[in-house]
Amino acid sequence: MRPKIAIDIGTSYTKIYKAKSDVVLIEPTCIAIQNKNYKTPYAYGQEAYSLIGKTPESVEIIFPVSNTDIVDNKALVALLSHFIKKVKTPLENIKDALLLVECGSNRETIKKFENALIGAKVYNVCYAENPLLALLGVGEEISYETPSAVIDLGGGQTTVCVLTKAGVISGASAEIGGNTLNKMIIKHVEQTLNLQISEHSAEVLKVQLASLNEDDETKSVVSGKDTLSGKQKVSQISASQIYPAVKEFIDKVLNITNVIFSSLAGETIALLQKGGVYLSGGGVNIYGIDEYVSNALGIQTKINNEAEIASIIGAGKLVESAELLDKLKLQV
């Protein structure tokens, strides 16, 4: 089986690479359903996401994947069917796919996603682990002798992994990602500024202001409910005002990383100190994250220009190479 597409079904975004093309889709893993009608959804992907807070009561905005598990299978099947139809030509059948899975995913979870793809008429599915693909995507040469390390900051979870071509030496995934940071920003803004904001507003603040420079005075405007008066108000917020939430989030990621690194042999750590650690996923957009992580770990941190989509680019390399696919696909 040679997959025609590689697909990364994330909590926040779904990405698709198509053989002999490129990354052909990056859209929110989000669907709008009216009156529980899954057969003819109201909106998909980016369009559905843009409707948050703007829909009538009969329309529900659903994120069918949460923390790398499926919470609404019918919604996910409908969304995947739409995405696959969107990337194929009218006379083309896409029945074979490479599915990206997280480090350490169990067979039960993988099977759920496979069944969702089967529901979308993709019948033959093979798998590869996200951290390995992220390294391929940033152009890292993966060898049998020299270990590589990656911290993948996704929307639903963070994965820290040290591996060679032979497999994972040590790794772990935790349900802490970009969505967690949104919730931390919401809590911090309410506690310090007496302002209740929506998750959508928190996402905007994260994208525009998330910074690991505590003196960063970049500003954005957000609306919310004043917890003292109960009235709606518009406030100007600076990056420095949400810095404590951003720092707390990254420190949690670093705690996970230190646990993984502390389990490694001394010679492995020495090799990582020479080669550095790669960052991938949406979290790489936090300003100053590379310097902050480097200082905390004492290891050079690297961010590729396409680090945010590194995993799907790496998956594309497997789709284009039967030899590479055979070597690196996951046996489950």
Tell me the three state secondary structure of residue 18. strand
Class of domain 193-241: alpha beta
Longest dimension (CA), the chain: 64
Axis crossing angle, helix 239-262 with helix 289-297, rounded to the nearest 10: 40
**CA gyration radius, the chain:** 20
Confidence of residue 279 (pLDDT cuts 50, 70, 90): very high
**In the chain, % of residues over pLDDT 70:** 99
Alpha helix positions (H), 89-177: 107-119, 130-137
pLDDT at residue 104 is higher than 80: no
Please, which pLDDT band fits residue 262 given cuts at 50, 70 and 90?
very high
* 91 vs 26, higher pLDDT: 26
Domains of the chain, by residue range, sit at 5-132+311-328, 138-176+246-307, 193-241
Give the confidence band of 274 by pLDDT, cuts at 50, 70, 90: confident
**What proportions of the chain, in percent to the nearest 5, are helix, strand and coil?**
40, 25, 30
Classified as helix, coil or strand, 204 is helix
Q: Indicate the average pLDDT of the chain.
A: 92
Residue 105 has pLDDT above 90, yes or no: no
Quick one: tokens of 180?
């967690």
Whether residue 174 has pLDDT greater than 90? no
Same fold, 5-132+311-328 and 138-176+246-307: yes
The residues with which 225 forms a beta bridge, in sequence order, are: 196, 232
- Report which of 239, 242, 244, 258 is spatially closest to residue 298, judged by C-alpha positions: 258
The pLDDT assigned to 166 comes to 78
Burial label, 58 (beta-carbon count in 10 A; 0-12, 13-18, 19+)? exposed
In the chain, the percentage of residues whose pLDDT exceeds 90 is: 73
Whether 95 and 123 have beta carbons less than 8 Å apart is answered as yes
Distance of alpha carbon 130 from its chain centroid, rounded?
10
Residue 181 pLDDT? 96
> What is the model's pLDDT at position 68?
78
pLDDT tens, 199-232? Answer: 889 999 999 999 999 999 999 999 999 999 999 9
Quick one: pLDDT at residue 202?
A: 94
Q: In what order do the strands lie in the sheet with 5-9?
A: 23-28, 13-18, 5-9, 96-101, 124-129
Over range 107-122, report the average pLDDT: 94
Q: What does the pLDDT look like over 142-169, one tens digit per residue? A: 777 888 899 999 888 899 999 887 778 8
Per-residue model confidence (pLDDT) at position 273: 87
pLDDT score, position 332: 67
User: Which is the CATH superfamily of the domain at 5-132+311-328?
Assistant: ATPase, nucleotide binding domain (3.30.420.40)
pLDDT at residue 259 tops 90: yes
Predicted local distance difference test score (pLDDT) of residue 32 = 97
Return the CATH class of domain 138-176+246-307: alpha beta
